[in-house]
Every structure is written in C-alpha cells, then in structure tokens.
Amino acid sequence: MKVIASKDNLSHGVQIVQRAVSAKNPLPVLTGILVKASEGHLTFSATDLELGIECVTPATVEEQGGVVLPAKYFSEIVRRLPDVTINFESSKEKNNTIIRYGQSEFNLLGMPEEDFPSLPTVDSDSVLSVKQEQFKTMIRQVGFATSTDDNRPIFTGILMEIEQGNMKLVATDTHRLAYRIGQIDKAQESMEKSVIIPGKTLNELNKIMTGEGEDLKIAFGDNQVVFEMPGIRFVSRLIEGQFPNYRQVIPQGCKTKIKVKTKDLLESAERASLLAKDGSNVIKFNIEEEYMMISSNSPDIGKIEEQVPIVMEGEKTQIAFNSKYLIDVIKVIDTEEMMVELTGPLSPGIIKPIDDESYIYLILPIRVV
C-alpha cells in the first residue's frame, strides 16, 4: 500500500473509528484500526464486535492495499504529526508500515488485513431518514438515563419505536425514565419498528454527528442496525429482550403543577447538591404557593436552604429526589421555563419543557425519614 494524505484527513478517520476500538480483548486484531487504500480514498475501520465504525477520507492512492495498525500507538502518532503532507506505505509481507513526514519517518508494526473481521452489511427495505439535528437532540435528552449495569443489558439500551409517522426514544435505569418523540418524513409513515439499541452506540453516534448536512440514514437488520452519514458508517448489534412497558409507569394526572425557570432551578439544585454528596445525593423540596424551598444537609459539613420562585397549581407538598438524577434532566431542557408535576411525596415526579409534550422525564422520589 502506498498513499499520500493530509494530516487532517488521517486525523479525522482515526478519531472517528477509534471510538469502536476494543480496549480489552483477547484478539489482538480488535485492538487495531484497519487502514485500507482504494482508488481515491482511505477507509478506516474499527470494531469491538458489538459496535463497528467505518470512515472514508480522500487520499492519493499509488498502490492499493491494507494493514491493521495498533490503535493505541497509531492514534497518538497521527495526533502528533506536523501539518504537512503524509506519505503512508506498508509492506504486505511483514505488515511493516512507514509513515513519512518531511524529512522524518515513523515505523510501526501492523497485522494482516485478512485477520480483521469484516463489518456486516444490512440488506434491508426498512431504511429511515431523519434530520441529524433532531436526532442529536433526541439522543441528548434520553441517552443519559440508561443503566451502566451490564448484568441487566435491557436497561443499558435505548428503545427506538417507529409508528404512525413518529419516532420514539425511551431509556430507563429503573430509577428514572426519559421519553422523547419526534416526527419522521411523511413518506415513511407506514414504517413500524421496535428495537433496543445499546446506549453506548447512540451516545457515540451523537458525539460525531454535526447536526448539519445530509440526513442520517438508519437501516434495520434482524439483529443489527446501521447508521450512515456522508463518509461514515456505524454498525451496531441490537439488544435482545423485552423492554419494560414504559406507558404503564407514566402518571396520567397530578395533584401539583409547578412552573419554574429552568436556569433558577438548575443553579439552586447544583448548589444544594454540594452538601448532598455523602452517598445519598438527597435534596428536599418543600412546595409552597409562590416558591419552593430547596434544601440539603450534611451532619459533617452544614446545610443549605434556598427559595426559588414558582407558579403553582394544586396542593402544597414535599418531596425528595436524587440530586444527580434531577440535575441531569434540567441540563437537557432547552426551554426557558419547565414544568414539574407531582402527585405526593412517594409518587414519581414528571419533568418536561413548558408547553411541550414531546419530552417527558420521570424520576422516582427518595423516601426521607
């Protein structure tokens, strides 16, 4: 393989695919990045057998071929290269790769491209197009609510439901639930699909989507999903199993409605959380007619009480929440004001943007003695 490429194009390809590199895997080839030269471009690929990413960048290819290079060293080398034209050459016999820049060169031992598993393709009639900006917002508003406990894989995933011209994303770790609905193209209104996608996949995808340019294309296979945008392809396995019936846990009514400025509640909750980091993360809310009293205390440090102005309808009440779960959702609400709906100190609270039913966040209260 002989290639001439710019540092920017090399860096772009490596940065995109290294998100799928397997950090701990008994197969050495999975700790590497496949670099393949074809006519007019370089293709970078990485996979941990659950998530695979492929990125295509322009290059001048003098001789086609491929090699798998150790991601740990290759990514660091590329990041530190000077901003000059890079000559890239590898020997198929020994997989020795020479990276030349200016009057200098770097030698890196690789592995045969034949050892690298090919990323699966999905032959599917179920292809969906969505606006990148909309999909980024949807992931941002639900992705944080997944569980990190691999012993319960269902809760590490995000449910994607497509029906009646809408796409829904739902995530829960059993302590909270985030729900977001968005419209899809009218030409795809007849599509119906329900799959569970690993939260890691969507959160990594969200990091590289620009929110601009061409639509994101989503294709579904029997146990895989593929996301495509210009020059980039994500392939992920799906999580098997039955996602919890989220409709049953969302309350249909409430006894107390609170309208509050998003910025005021976020800043007050963050201050209160400073004294709630003793393992319980509890902050308390005392809801009155014109304000809510937010408080927390630590026997070893002190206590805090703050009044936040609100517009309240219904009954006065008291409730306590995990400060992290509360702050997580306030940070992704984009409206100036938000709504909090409560049904008592032991019932789930509902948080949503003002005058917007497309996003709902459910949070379980903490019983305080």
Residue 325: CATH number of its domain: 3.10.150.10
Query: Domain boundary at 74, 91, 115, which?
Result: 115
Residues 361/178, Cβ–Cβ less than 8 Å = yes
Q: Which domain holds residue 165?
A: 127-246
| 132 and 235 together in one domain | yes
One domain for residues 302 and 318 = yes
Q: Which amino acid is at 78?
A: V
In angstroms, the first-to-last Cα distance of the chain is 69
Q: Can you tell me whether residue 77 is helix, strand or coil?
A: helix
Q: Is 7 part of a structural domain of the chain?
A: yes
Measured distance CA(171)–CA(1) in Å, rounded: 45
What values do phi and psi take at 202, rounded to 5?
-70, -35
Residues in contact with 278: Cβ distance below 8 Å, sequence separation at least 6, in sequence order = 298, 300
Q: Which residues of 172-198 are buried (b: 16+ CB within 10 A; e: fewer)?
A: bbebbbbbbebebeeeeeebeeebbbb
Instruction: Tell me, yes or no, whether 39 and 89 share the same domain.
Output: yes
CA distances from 144 to 41, 45, 204, 250, 366 (A): 36, 27, 12, 18, 20
Asked if residue 49 lies in contact with residue 30, where contact means CB atoms within 8 angstroms, the answer is yes
Domain final residue, candidates 209, 227, 246: 246
Query: And the tokens for 222?
Result: 């029997």
Is residue 27 included in any domain, yes or no?
yes
> Is 122 a domain residue?
no
Tens-level pLDDT at each residue, the chain (369 residues)? 999 999 999 999 999 999 999 877 778 899 999 999 999 999 999 999 999 999 999 999 999 999 999 999 999 999 999 999 999 999 877 788 999 998 899 999 999 999 999 888 777 677 888 999 999 999 999 999 999 998 999 999 999 999 888 999 999 999 999 999 998 876 677 788 999 999 999 999 999 998 787 889 999 988 999 999 999 999 999 999 999 999 999 988 899 999 999 999 999 999 999 987 666 789 999 999 999 999 998 878 889 999 999 999 999 999 999 999 999 999 999 999 999 999 999 999 999 999 888 999 999 999 876
Same domain, 133 and 222: yes
pLDDT in the model for residue 93: 75
The Cα 135–Cα 216 span in angstroms is 8
**Which of 226, 246, 266 is the last residue in one of the domains?**
246
Output the CA torsion 311→316→322→327 (10° steps): 0
Does residue 254 share a domain with residue 358?
A: yes
Instruction: Look at residue 277 in the predicted model and tell me its pLDDT.
Output: 67
**Same domain as 325, residue 224:** no
pTM: 0.92
Cβ contacts of residue 125 below 8 Å, gap of 6+? Answer: none
Residues 356, 280, single domain; the answer is yes
Q: What is the pLDDT of residue 279?
A: 66
237 and 337, same structural domain?
no
**Helix axes 71-80 and 7-17, enclosed angle (nearest 10):** 150
- 72 in Cβ contact with 61 (< 8 Å): no
pLDDT at 201: 94
Give the residue among 352, 289, 342, 290 at the shortest CA–CA distance from 320. 342
Tokens read off for 70 = 């150790």
Provide the number of structural domains found in the chain.
3
120 within domain boundaries: no
Q: Tell me the C-alpha distance between 61 and 129, whole Å.
A: 32
Q: Which two tokens stand for residue 22?
A: 């397997």
Q: Which amino acid is at 189?
A: E
Is residue 255 located within the same domain as residue 334?
yes
On the 0-12 / 13-18 / 19+ scale of CB atoms within 10 A, 239 is buried
Residue holding tokens 């049904």? 343
Q: Are 195 and 220 in contact (CB under 8 A)?
A: yes
Q: Residue 31, SS3?
A: helix
8 A C-beta contact, residue 228 and residue 235 = no
Same domain, 93 and 194: no
Examine the domain organization and report whether 72 and 176 are in the same domain: no
Question: What are the tokens at 100?
Answer: 């030349």
